[in-house]
Amino acid sequence: MMHAQLRSHIIRLLNTDMRLDGRKLTEYRQPITVEYGAIRTAEGSARVKIGETEVLVGIKVEIGEPYPDNPDEGTIIVGAELLPLSNPDFELGPPSIQAVELARVVDRGIRESKAVNFKKLCIKAGEKVWLILIDICPMNDAGNLFDAASLAALAALKDARFPAVENDKIDYKKKTDQKLPLERYPLAITVCKIGDKFIVDPDTEEEKAIDARLTVASTEDGHLCALQKGEDFPLTINEISQMIDIGMEKAKELRKFL
């Protein structure tokens, strides 16, 4: 629930190109940091901070059976839990609808851009493939979990190394120096509409005032790979066009932190 006065204050400020914390409309909070290999027990990991928002992503790999329709491909599985440690409004229990949306948006950005070459995750066609299990854990949710999670997931994929395999079994204690087949760098940027204005990287207060949002995932060669429109208000085609431009521009900026 949003306090009506706070909302009108945010909108008044936005109309003068200002935000509550003094940022410009399409400016991210600072500092933005990416820490690789934050977790020793994971095969790959990254801790990303955007301002006070902090997200931890860890990757475990397992050997499993391929899907019958893609017998020579491994796959990724993205999970997210909105830990009640990270936000007073999050509750314990099975993944909420918000957690599922977060996981699926990050999943689609990676999957649809073909960032991970699934064919190279095949060990024996029809029998054994690598499964890449990517888990998103927010540590402090001060707004914009989507973009922080997307950046952290990509950084963790970059950090990951296969463990050793002996007699078809994984020896998790032994890491190899073999990287995952990561061939593109898709990043998701969420552009938010409040009143008539577009902003990126909303903080906790701004998030409550958002009318509509569009998460735009794009690769370094300028291709769109996933979109997700959220919140209650509709968008015109012209607005969508502007939001995509902002999203692709900002993806270039964030990619530099990798």
Partner 1 sequence: MTYKQRIDNRGFDETRPIEAKVGVIPRADGSAYFKIGNTVAFAAVYGPRNLHPKFLQDPTKGILRCNYNMMPFSSSGERVRPGGSRRSKEISLVTVKALLPVLDLQEYPNSVVDVFIELPQTEAGSRCAGICAASMALADAGLLMKDLVAAVSVGRVDDKIVVDLDYNEESYPGVPVADIPIAMMPSSGKVTLLQMDGEVTKEMLMEALEKGKKALMDIYEVQRKALKEKYHGVDE
- Contacts to partner 1 by CB under 8 A: 38-42, 45, 52, 56, 58-60, 62, 79, 81, 83-88, 92, 94-95, 133, 135, 137, 139-142, 172-173, 204
Q: Which is nearer to partner 1, 70 or 140 (CB)?
A: 140
Tell me how far, at minimum, the Cβ of 81 lies from partner 1, in Å.
Answer: 6
Share in percent of the chain as helix, strand, coil (round to 5) = 30, 35, 35
Q: Which is nearer to partner 1, 91 or 177 (CB)?
A: 91
Q: Which is nearer to partner 1, 48 or 248 (CB)?
A: 48
Is residue 194 within 8 A of residue 14, CB to CB? The reply is yes
Tell me how far, at minimum, the Cβ of 238 lies from partner 1, in Å.
Answer: 36
d(CA 244, CA 240): 6
Q: Which is nearer to partner 1, 109 or 138 (CB)?
A: 138
Six-digit token string for 104: 């699926």
Q: Which is nearer to partner 1, 140 or 242 (CB)?
A: 140
Is residue 65 within 8 A of residue 118, CB to CB? The reply is no
- Torsion over CA of 232, 255, 257 and 247, rounded to 10 degrees? -30
Q: Which is nearer to partner 1, 161 or 184 (CB)?
A: 161
Tell me how far, at minimum, the Cβ of 49 lies from partner 1, in Å.
Answer: 11
Tell me how far, at minimum, the Cβ of 68 lies from partner 1, in Å.
Answer: 23
Report how far apart the first and last C-alpha atoms of the chain are (Å, whole number): 36
Tell me how far, at minimum, the Cβ of 47 lies from partner 1, in Å.
Answer: 9
d(CA 16, CA 251): 25
Is residue 48 within 8 A of residue 103, CB to CB? The reply is no
Sign for the CA dihedral angle at 224, 158, 98, 143 comes to negative
Tally Cβ neighbours within 10 Å of residue 15.
Answer: 11
Tell me how far, at minimum, the Cβ of 87 lies from partner 1, in Å.
Answer: 6
